[in-house]
Amino acid sequence: MAHWKMDCDANGFVWLTIDVADRSVNVLTHEVLAELSEVVKTLSKQDEVKGLALLSGKAGGFVYGADVRQFSLFQDEAAVAEHIRFVHQCFHQLSHLPYPTVVGIEGVAVGGGLELSLCFDHIIVTSSPKTQLGFPEVGLGIMPGYGGSGRAYRRIGIKPALDMMLTGKSLNAATAESYGLVDEIVNSEADLKAATLTWLIAQKGQKPSRKMCDVPSDHADIFAAAKAEHLARARPDHTPAPFAIMDHINTHKHDPQAMTDAEMITFPVLMMSPASKGLRRLFDLKDQVRKAGRGDSGIKKVHVIGAGVMGGDIAAYSAMLGFEVTLSDQNEEAINKATDRARKLYDRRLKTEDQIKAAMLRLTADPKGDGMADADLIIEAVAERLDIKTLVFAEMESRAKADAILASNTSSIPLEKIAEGLKNPARLVGIHFFNPMPVLPLVEVIWADTTASETIDRAMRFSGQLKKFPIRCKSAPGFLVNRALLPYVYAGIAAMLNGTDADQIDTAMVDYGMPMGPIELADQIGLDVTYDAGVPLGMPEAVASALQAKIAAGDLGRKSGQGFYQWDEKKALRPRNDYPLATLTPLVDTLLQPMIRECQAAVDEGVVDSAEMADAGMIFGTGFPGFRGGPLFWANENSKG
């Protein structure tokens, strides 16, 4: 066997070890499961076996679940159902072996990894922070499919089962024990084998039985509370999985075995749904982007020039994540305000007063910019004017140490223009954060032909150290996000000017899954910013005229209380009417075409490395619905029929 090792000791106990070949972690690929099936068939025929223990051969890790990428090999529901039946048969045999079975876990046991563990009579885990147990399937648009729903439900009952499956969050060892999901906790991985042996000896070859958790009398209230908490903002036509999970548990709450069996019907339908395809694509995009930002940048000290909202937030957030940060601005009051905002951020995000104090100590007000001399990275976040940035970078270069990275947070100015005034443009890079910076995950790392590859790589890794999602972008008008987003916004404004009701336009896109429609988004951004950002890109003449007229009248959107809509503080006052689906669907197709076209052009021109990165940028930078998989993925799937 390539992935499993099996030994038998003098007691008649079989020691089974999972150690998936050519993988840094254990995952349940089709090949791994096929070998397990043969193992279980062999074990079921061995009369002399007195007990079975499963451990991991990967230090510090158990099983990360099924191989998500192999899900794409299934062509239809029938193929998924065949796979699920195969795994159910294997796991059923495993759970019904006629002697006691025990599993020892340190590290991640989620999805299929937890479902495998639940086939054992006794579950022992370590108290290590690495130990995490959960059902993350809802984030992939599916539900537990290897029998885990019924087996977990038998152990923990309605409320914990609903919480685990609807949130997708993992449990630590202590919480899992309090739920009854695990039976025993030991101190370390070194203790697992001894603990499993002790338990097996104590059973004296007799298989233990487990009573099902009682169905509580207030089960209707539990389901109602779960619906209010977890489904209030969800829609079954967008993400059907949480609704299917709720129905699945409610329908079979009196029979855990029926719950397990019913997975074979529900899981294939969810797996082949558009939402699952999109969310599995999103899972892959996150993985790719995180890998691109993985590693040590070598950056310890950061200096930020410009203490406005963006610069102040960059400085505060970087200090919160462990960097030593100095912040300069010509206006000392701006620095003071930024420091006050930092304290509020730390109060919200950090757990203890000691952590808050430590973060505040890492953030230093530096009106004269003395921190530039020692900084490994200097980020400018001043006004979006080339003349101002040119002066800032000239001073920056004269004061920075030779190996420091010089970065601009520019959202629109070509990096080549900034590089013209530098003696060594190889160390110039764009690190474009999005507002609000502590919240939005995307970072566009902008490079020009003059930027050294090492500079780009270090900027990518720095962004990863900030727990952001960095996308590599070639310097070009609008980079990726603004290039693709603004034409979509202008298409919405043009449709409105051509007679389509603004509320209908925005309703169509919210119904599609966008956080807000293009008209409301323009107001949210500010009509002046919407116009200025589009000047380098171009926009329809009628749209430009309409924006200029609004700007001249002082109607700038949310910030002025009036734009295309009237605003009541944070809320646009629009009717939010219901419209026939037949009128919304073609509107969505029309409005998304400019975004799709520009994303494809960015790929074709090498502005981004791939279609995957274009889709990732739009999801993480604009709120494009993740369950759609990205503009290019959606367009491709939509074209299939």
- Name the one residue in this structure whose structure tokens are 């949130």: 167
Asked, for residue 19, whether it belongs to a domain, the answer is yes
Angle between helices 332-349 and 309-320 (to 10 degrees): 50
257 pLDDT higher than 70: yes
Q: Which of 426, 432, 451, 419 is nearest to 380 (CA)?
A: 432
Angstrom distances, CA of residue 41 to CA of 44, 57, 65, 83: 5, 22, 22, 17
The answer to whether the beta carbons of residues 633 and 610 sit under 8 Å apart is no
Question: Which residue's structure tokens are 């193929």?
Answer: 79
Phi then psi dihedrals of residue 568, to 5 deg: -110, 90
- Total structural domains in the chain? 3
**CA distances from residue 355 to 165, 322, 361, 424 in whole angstroms, order as listed:** 32, 10, 10, 39
Residues 389 and 497 in one domain: no
Other C-beta atoms closer than 10 Å to the C-beta of 44 total 13
Give a yes or no: residue 162 inside a domain. yes
Lowest mean pLDDT among 6-20, 60-74, 336-350: 60-74
The C-alpha angle 98, 104, 108, rounded to 5 degrees, equals: 125
Q: In the annotation, is 122 catalytic?
A: no
Instruction: Tell me how far the alpha carbon of residue 486 is from its chain's centroid.
Output: 24
Same-domain pairing of 456 and 578: no
Residue 291 lies in a domain: no
Same domain flag for 453 and 495: no
Q: How many C-alpha atoms does 190 have within 13 Å on its Cβ side? A: 0
Residues 101 and 225 in one domain: yes
Measured from the Cβ of residue 459, the count of other Cβ atoms closer than 10 Å reads: 27
- Same domain for 442 and 491, yes or no, is no
Say what the pLDDT of residue 62 is. Answer: 97
pLDDT per position as a tens digit, 16-43:
999 999 999 999 999 999 999 999 999 9
> φ, ψ for residue 172 (rounded to 5)?
-80, 175
292 part of a folded domain? no
Nearest to 524 by CA among 481, 571, 456: 571
Share of the chain above pLDDT 70, in %: 100
Residue in 518, 524, 489 with CA at minimum distance from that of residue 506: 518
Domain that holds residue 40: 4-272
State how far Cα 341 lies from the chain centre: 26
Q: For the domain that residue 409 is a member of, what is the CATH number?
A: 3.40.50.720
**Is the residue at 197 inside a domain?**
yes
pLDDT score of 641: 61
Which two tokens mark 4? Answer: 């499993």
Which range among 38-47, 93-102, 138-147, 592-601 shows the weakest confidence by mean pLDDT?
38-47
Write out the DSSP string of 61-88. --B--B-GGGGGG--SHHHHHHHHHHHH
Average model confidence (pLDDT) across the chain: 96
Task: Report yes or no on 288 lying in a domain.
Answer: no
Encode pLDDT of 55-73 as tens digits: 999 999 999 999 988 988 9
Q: Are residues 20 and 142 located together in one domain of the fold?
A: yes
Alpha carbon distance 557, 560 (integer Å)? 6
pLDDT in tens, 514-544: 999 999 999 999 999 999 989 889 999 999 9
pLDDT, one tens digit per residue, over 448-485 is: 999 999 999 999 999 999 999 999 999 999 999 999 99
Q: Extract the tokens encoding 602.
A: 């960015």
Q: CB under 8 Å to 395, separation ≥6 — which residues?
A: 369
391-429 pLDDT tens trace: 999 999 999 999 999 999 998 899 999 999 999 999 999
CA distance 185 to 202: 17
Q: Give the integer Cα–Cα distance in Å for 166 and 612.
A: 28
- Determine the pLDDT at residue 201: 97
With a cut of 90, say whether residue 47 has pLDDT above it: no
What pLDDT, on the 0 to 100 scale, is given for residue 499?
97
CA distance 24 to 420: 45
The reply to whether 473 and 500 lie within a common domain is: no
HEC assignment per residue over 210-224:
CCCCCCCCCHHHHHH
Orientation of helix 241-251 relative to helix 256-271, angle to 10° = 160
Confirm whether 630 is domain-assigned: no
Q: What is the pLDDT of residue 322?
A: 97
Among 254, 272, 290, residue at a domain's last position: 272
**CA pair distance 545, 328, nearest whole angstrom:** 39
pLDDT score, position 414 = 92
Same domain as 215, residue 319:
no
Full-prediction pTM beyond 0.85?
yes
- What's the pLDDT band for 46 if we cut at 50, 70, 90? confident
Q: How confident is the model at residue 569 (pLDDT cuts 50, 70, 90)?
A: confident
22 shares its domain with 124: yes
Domain identity same for 217 and 363: no
Give the CATH number, domain containing residue 500: 1.10.1040.50
Q: Examine the domain organization and report whether 74 and 207 are in the same domain.
A: yes
Q: Please report whether residue 284 resides in a domain.
A: no
Indicate if 531 and 438 belong to the same structural domain: no
Domain boundary among 447, 478, 509: 478
CATH number (domain holding residue 220): 3.90.226.10
pLDDT confidence of residue 75: 92
Q: Which of 426, 443, 478 is the last residue of a domain?
A: 478
Instruction: Determine the Cα–Cα distance for residues 493 and 519; give it in Å rounded to an integer.
Output: 6
> CA distances (Å), 541 to each of 62, 498, 506, in order?
60, 13, 22
